[in-house]
Structures are given as structure tokens and as C-alpha cells.
Structure 1
Amino acid sequence: MPTVEELYRNYGILADATEQVGQIRRQAIKELPQFATGENLPRVADILTQLLQTDDSAEFNLVNNALLSIFKMDAKGTLGGLFSQILQGEDIVRERAIKFLSTKLKTLPDEVLTKEVEELILTESKKVLEDVTGEEFVLFMKILSGLKSLQTVSGRQQLVELVAEQADLEQTFNPSDPDCVDRLLQCTRQAVPLFSKNVHSTRFVTYFCEHVLPNLSSLTTPVEGLDIQLEVLKLLAEMSSFCGDMEKLETNLRKLFDKLLEYMPLPPEEAENGENAGNEEPKLQFSYVECLLYSFHQLGRKLPDFLTAKLNAEKLKDFKIRLQYFARGLQVYIRQLRLALQGKTGEALKTEENKIKVVALKITNNINVLIKDLFHIPPSYKSTVTLSWKPVQKVELGQKRTNEDTTSGSPPKKSTAGPKRDARQIYNPPSGKYSSNLGNLNYERSLQGK
């Protein structure tokens, strides 16, 4: 059996080998698993992990295969070597070791990924999560959420707590700090799929209502082309369905209500001749209103007398006027959109313009249903709608997973800087009078980049 010194001396030879002896390097990599016995195995895993930094695709594949083979011999020992390099190794080794775990763990059989092995992964991951980049955090959430032991209710709750810790929900929110805003968004995106009727989103929803909504207009982000305000409102809407008992429900409902009023304008005043006194009618921002109305509708179920008992008569009257005005404009656009899409099927619906119109129809129909609920006396919160972007999101995430899982044949490429968000379709009708011709609708901002 080789000594530890011999193992590391041989690693030095491998690391320093030139292109002319590439074949010797590859053969040595193939032979390394034979040395992985007893106390040597973690050290072999450590060496193989360091060799992940190779830019030679053939060598990279050999290293991956060698790591997988010793994983099946002793999963805990192999994890020791991998996490040693993740915690202490060079940046490129750390990056590739994390990606190895994120793509290869799920390929291992159940007899390898035992409960004890998964507990070790969780323990070591928590150490790494004390200091990670946004991209690393996303990869670790992918690793952890794929573990069988964390797919239970209690397991998902553990993951939510991990995410909340990363999001720094106890700290003061700084809307003008793009890193602070980006961290919150990255963490919330990871938390959203974990929420359910048994794993509540209360802590995140409370934080968004108390700290983010009041600062919505001043949010900054390092991600070019991202509509940060709409992104926040979409996340809030998705989380609101799973909010549990909230300590300051009335206060936070009021914050949500006030923000909703900002996006639901009063009708313009009429001059004596019946024309608008102003130059143009206010812009109706349907995408934002869908999110805010949905969130208000979800939380309002927990305090159904909010509109009738918690608001004074003047404010309630103001709200009804805004709802009526918005509903009138809504009906115009719904009719126009239905007319424009009537009879279109298959390829005709796949054009960029028609895809936008389909999404626009979903948004306006959703708002219409929610407004009808609030017009009831007393208001009703019984209707159920599916948020307009949900089906699009599922398809895009599925495609993203496929792309990530096909990179094992060559060394991972350096990812572009900054977090990316799947493209979203957004519909904002133009300002000015309601158009009687759908061709006049303004689609300039209908597609948002990442």
C-alpha cells in the first residue's frame, strides 16, 4: 500500500506534467481509485477533486468517473475530500467540486446515498453556506433539495430556515444597495418552491410587506434589464398563497392596500363639455395590479372584514371608484384581446405578438375575477386564479435543468457574472384613451430581459 507521501508526490507529478505526457496523466488518473482503500480514500478523493481544475475534456471525464467510482466504495470518505477542497481549495477547484455534487449526486443509487450520508452532506453544506456567492448558494439549494431526507415537511422546513438565514431577514433592509436587494431576491426564489400548506411563507411575506413594499420605487439591482419592482411583486404574489398566521396582519394588509391604490388610478376629471380635463388618461399597469390584487386577495381571506370594518367610509368609497374605473378599462382590453386571438391556433399563436396577447389575456382575466370578488357586499375571497406567468415559468425551469445536466462531458465553462432570471412576459397597455383598435396597443415593454 502506498504511503500518503507517495500519493501526494505522484499528484505533484500529475499536476506538473506537460502536454507531451498527457497520456501518462490520464493513465495515472485511471489508476488512482486503486489506491482508495482505508484511510487513503479521503486523500485520493482530495487529489481527484483538485484534478477537476483540468481544462482537458478527456481528463475531466476521467476525473469525474474516478470520483464516482470511489463514491460508491465509501461515500463519506469521498465527501470528506470534496468538502475539504470546497472549504479550503482554490476558486476553480471549489467551483467545480460544487458543480460535481450538484450534477452527480442524483445519479447515485439509494444504497450509496444513505440517510447517514445525506446527514453528512447537510452538515458540511451548512459550513460552506456561511460564506457563499449567489451562484454557489443556488447550487447548494439544488443539492440539498434533491436529498430524500429533505423532501419531507420537516425537511423542507429546515431548508426554508436555511434560506431565511441566508436572506438576513433580521437585518435592516437597504433598498439602495443592489447587493442587499439581489441577495433577498436570490434567497426568496429558492424559498418559493419549498412553500406549501404545511410549510408556511409567513416570515418572508411579513418581511416583504414591512420592508420591501414601502421602498418599492427605490429598489436597485445589478441585473441589467430586470424590472425589479415587478419581480418583487411576483415573488410576493407566489408566496402569499402559503402565508400562515401573521402577527401584524391588519398593519401589513394596509401596506399592501396602500400600494395597490398607487397602481389603481382615479378616473380623470371631466371638463364642463364632458371631455377629459387632463391631457391624457392614466396608464393602467395590469401586470403590477395582477400581483398586488392577488396578494391582497390571499391575505384578505385571513381578515375578510378589512375593507368593510377597518377602512373609513371615505377611503372605501375611493377604493370602489378606482376599482370601477379599472374594471371599465379592463373590459375594453379583454374584448380587444379576445377578438384579436379569435380563430388563431397552432403556429399562429406562436408569433411573438400573439404570445404576448395570450399572456395579456391571462393577466386581464385574472384581474377581472379578483375585482368581481372585491365588489361583493361584503367582499368575497372565494375565487381561485392561476397567476399568469406560472405555466411559462414551469417550462423554462424544465429547459434550464436539461441544459445544466448535459455539461458533464467537458469542464464547466465560467458562468457569466451576475444572477440571471428567466425571461418574463409583461403586459402594460398604453397611457391615454382606451384604444378601439388592438393594433394601436404599445408592446415595447411587453418582454423583459433577464
Structure 2
Amino acid sequence: MPTVEELYRNYGILADATEQVGQHKDAYQVILDGVKGGTKEKRLAAQFIPKFFKHFPELADSAINAQLDLCEDEDVSIRRQAIKELPQFATGENLPRVADILTQLLQTDDSAEFNLVNNALLSIFKMDAKGTLGGLFSQILQGEDIVRERAIKFLSTKLKTLPDEVLTKEVEELILTESKKVLEDVTGEEFVLFMKILSGLKSLQTVSGRQQLVELVAEQADLEQTFNPSDPDCVDRLLQCTRQAVPLFSKNVHSTRFVTYFCEQVLPNLGTLTTPVEGLDIQLEVLKLLAEMSSFCGDMEKLETNLRKLFDKLLEYMPLPPEEAENGENAGNEEPKLQFSYVECLLYSFHQLGRKLPDFLTAKLNAEKLKDFKIRLQYFARGLQVYIRQLRLALQGKTDLCWDTVTLSWKPVQKVEIGQKRASEDTTSGSPPKKSSAGPKRDARQIYNPPSGKYSSNLGNFNYGERFRLGTRNMRD
């Protein structure tokens, strides 16, 4: 094993050789042997090995393996030095291997090391984005769970920081291709992260790009299969996928396939839905999503049939007025409950879909059913009077209201200037990530997110060790 003095002497030989440095293979071998020494020798080796690496291609494997040994040393200062120098090995065909090594090193729990690994990955990303992606996706597809998790999070947070000259069209196509492979077997949390990655790509922010993403989500949601309302994983998967699709819908990217599935498969089973999330009003969550999607529904094959299903479900939440006794008082013990949120969602969905069949109420319903609906509607309207009075008081003196816009109560009101188009409609971290909490997260709209982790059919202990698949949806053991 070389001493510190021998390492410096051989370093001097290589440094003084200038253009003839490649002729001093023995001197470089001495430096490689420095990884077998003590702390001081290893620190010097961590700096000297990468400095002359490119001059000795025949020793490339030995040099990379030596540096990797230093990256795994017990001494944290040696590890940090070795990691910092890794990008110097990312030349030519060695770059994917270096990317693979750096991706594995993301599993470190040392915040300084984690920072260095992130910086090193970003550095080689700018050298060769495709080669770096090869290493990252190799670990995402085949690596340990902790490496896979952090590699995905790296992509979801760092890709958006890269300049356009790095994220070229070809690079984005590679990201999409590799992501589709991963999406064949993902957890719910991973699926959300990949949708974040893909929706951030410039090439997928066009109309055709968003349509491609919607089709990808629809495939993940497994809309071709019969819906199982008693399976919490099935329900959770559908809601999770639908939430990812909702922001993609527009007047040019239709929600028809999702709305049809909700009307035909979910609405008839609304009362039997199950969810692993305690305290979640799963029925209201479903109706909110349906309402939000209904605005962008295109031509539907079974429109009249699905309107009837919506209408019948609406009647369930619009009770008949209680019967009156001879003295004019209610014959029942209590007033029926008016579930305003449910009715709002169903009425809005019915209104949006009904515009395509404007004579549905008058021509498609018999007189008795229409009369029954009017009675329920009048009773429900009376229950709203107190709220209407309060609303009128709140609106007194207000002149900047947009009366021609019908929107949903939980959606923020946005002023739209004349001529303003939907953004992108037709245009072409400092420490290791912390584990997310088990409870649902909520954004500004208070939309439910399922617990982080892996889907599981074993709800007794909610084992997150399984992923849902496309096609057969077999669970991983």
C-alpha cells in the first residue's frame, strides 16, 4: 500500500508529464492502490484518481471501482470527497454507469451526501441527458425500493430546473417511453409523481400531448373493467387516476370516457362504495369529480340512458315534502335532511350533460315523473330560502359579479378577460426526502389524496408493499 509521500510523488509524475501522461501507467496504478491505505491515503486517492482518469482508458473499470469503494467508506469525509468527484468519470460509455452509481447513492441518510449526489446527477444530466436517464430508469425499474422511490422524486423535482437545451424533444420522448414502462407496475404515490413529471414536459402541454396523457391515465384507471365498489383498492385507484385526469380536460380534450364510466359503473353503486380512508365522504368525492368532469364531456353514445341515471340519483337526494297532519303540522317526527352538496354536484352534472339533450325533461320523462320532480324541486327550493336571503345580504352593493357563469361552490371563482385562452391550449432539495405522513394531504381545494405508500388489499394493517398493475391488476406478493 502506498504512503502519503508515494502518492504525492506519483501525482507529481503524472502532473509533470502533460501530454505524455498516458505513458505513466505504473504511476496511476500506485494512486489507484491508495484506496487500500489509511484515512489520509484514501482522501488523496479520492482526489487524484478522477483527475487523471481520462488518460488511462484501459484502467477505467479499475478506477471507477476504486472510486466506488471510496464512496462506500466508513469515513463520511472520504465518502463526500469521492462522491463530489464522480462526475469526472462520466465520459463516453462510462456515463450511464456513473449515473447508475449516483442513483444508488441517493439512498444515503446523510444530508450533505444527499446534496452532493443530487448536484452530481444534475451535473452529468447537463453533459448527457439520455445517458443519465438510462442510469436513473435502470434503478427505478430494477433497484431497491428506497432507491426507486428517491430516483422518482429526483425526476419529479429536478427535471423542471433543467434548461431547454438539456430537455430537448428527443430527451422528453425518452422520458415518456421509459415512464410508460414504469407505469406498468406502480404504487398510487408513484403514479401521481409520474403524472407530475409527464405533465411538466413541454411536448405534452399541447392539446395532443394532454390527450395522450388522458389516454395514459384512462389505461391506468382500467376503465375497460367492471367496477368493484366493495374493493377499496379499486375505488381508490379510480379516484386517484381521475384526479390526475381532471386538470387535463378542456374543450379540446374531452372527459367523455371518464364521465361515461362514472355514470354507468359508479353511480349505480354509489351507496356501497368503500374506502380505506377513515372519515372520508367517498360518495361526495365521487360526485365532485363527476361534476368537474361533466363540463368537458363530448358526445356520449348512451346520453339519454346516462341522463336518466343522473336524474334518478338526483331524486334520491331531493326528498318529497313530509306529509301534513289535519292540524297542518308534519305527520312525521322530523324534517327530511337536505343534502345540498350532493344535490349541487348532481344538478350541475345533469345541467352540463343535459345541454346536449335539451328536451329530456319535457319529452323523455312521463308526466307523473316530471310532476314528482317539480314537487321535490319546490320543496328543496324552500329549504334554500334562508340561504338565499343571506346571500342577497352579502351581495348588496356588489357590482363586479359574473352572473353568466355557472360554477361549483368548491371551485375558486376566476375572472376571465375577453380573448383570454386556457394556458398552453394550442402551444406546442437540500436534504434526503422525508417520508410523507400517513394521513391524506389537502390542497387549496381540499381534495382528498390517499395515504402515501403502496396499494394493498390487506387493509387490516394497510401493508404498503404491493403495487397495482395494468391489465390483470394482479397484486405483487
TM-score with structure 1 setting the length: 0.77
* Distance change >3 Å, CA 14–CA 140, structure 1 → 2: farther
**Residues 135 and 419, structure 1, Cα contact 8 Å, conserved in 2:** no
* Distance change >3 Å, CA 318–CA 279, structure 1 → 2: same
Q: CA deviation at 1:38?
A: 0.3
**Residues 122 and 144, structure 1, Cα contact 8 Å, conserved in 2:** yes
For the residues of structure 1 that align with 2:391 and 2:474, how far apart are their CA atoms? 14
* Distance change >3 Å, CA 233–CA 151, structure 1 → 2: same
For the residues of structure 1 that align with 2:102 and 2:454, how far apart are their CA atoms? 67
For the residues of structure 1 that align with 2:456 and 2:392, how far apart are their CA atoms? 14
* Distance change >3 Å, CA 4–CA 328, structure 1 → 2: farther
For the residues of structure 2 that align with 1:84 and 1:333, how far apart are their CA atoms? 58
For the residues of structure 1 that align with 2:180 and 2:381, how far apart are their CA atoms? 50
Corresponding residue to 2:463 among 424, 430, 442: 442
Would you say 1:409 and 2:430 are equivalent positions? yes
For the residues of structure 2 that align with 1:259 and 1:270, how far apart are their CA atoms? 26
Q: How many residues align?
A: 410
Deviates more, 1:75-84 or 1:23-32: 23-32
Deviates more, 1:128-137 or 1:280-289: 280-289
* Distance change >3 Å, CA 419–CA 323, structure 1 → 2: same
Q: CA deviation at 1:439?
A: 41
* Distance change >3 Å, CA 128–CA 19, structure 1 → 2: farther
* Distance change >3 Å, CA 114–CA 264, structure 1 → 2: same
For the residues of structure 2 that align with 1:152 and 1:404, how far apart are their CA atoms? 6
For the residues of structure 2 that align with 1:416 and 1:155, how far apart are their CA atoms? 33
Cα-to-partner distance string for 1:147-166 (whole Å, 9 max, x where unaligned): 00000111001000000000
Cα-to-partner distance string for 1:199-252 (whole Å, 9 max, x where unaligned): 000000000000100111110111222110000000000000000000000000
* Distance change >3 Å, CA 309–CA 27, structure 1 → 2: same
Partner of 1:376: none
For the residues of structure 2 that align with 1:439 and 1:334, how far apart are their CA atoms? 46
Q: CA deviation at 1:438?
A: 41
Unaligned 5+ residue runs, structure 2?
A: 23-76, 399-403, 465-472
Would you say 1:194 and 2:215 are equivalent positions? no
Q: CA deviation at 1:446?
A: 39
Unaligned 5+ residue runs, structure 1?
A: 345-382
* Distance change >3 Å, CA 292–CA 430, structure 1 → 2: farther
Q: CA deviation at 1:400?
A: 25
* Distance change >3 Å, CA 32–CA 4, structure 1 → 2: farther
For the residues of structure 1 that align with 2:427 and 2:363, how far apart are their CA atoms? 57
Q: CA deviation at 1:434?
A: 44
Q: CA deviation at 1:329?
A: 1.1
* Distance change >3 Å, CA 438–CA 108, structure 1 → 2: closer
**Residues 14 and 25, structure 1, Cα contact 8 Å, conserved in 2:** no
For the residues of structure 1 that align with 2:461 and 2:434, how far apart are their CA atoms? 44
**Residues 169 and 207, structure 1, Cα contact 8 Å, conserved in 2:** yes
Q: CA deviation at 1:394?
A: 14
Which structure has more helix as a fraction of its residues? Answer: 1
Deviates more, 1:112-121 or 1:261-270: 261-270
For the residues of structure 2 that align with 1:162 and 1:435, how far apart are their CA atoms? 22
**Residues 173 and 212, structure 1, Cα contact 8 Å, conserved in 2:** yes
* Distance change >3 Å, CA 133–CA 26, structure 1 → 2: same
Cα-to-partner distance string for 1:254-289 (whole Å, 9 max, x where unaligned): 000000000111111111111111111101111111
For the residues of structure 1 that align with 2:79 and 2:10, how far apart are their CA atoms? 10
Larger radius of gyration: 2
Q: CA deviation at 1:333?
A: 2.4
TM-score with structure 2 setting the length: 0.72
For the residues of structure 1 that align with 2:8 and 2:222, how far apart are their CA atoms? 41
**Residues 4 and 40, structure 1, Cα contact 8 Å, conserved in 2:** no
For the residues of structure 2 that align with 1:289 and 1:135, how far apart are their CA atoms? 31
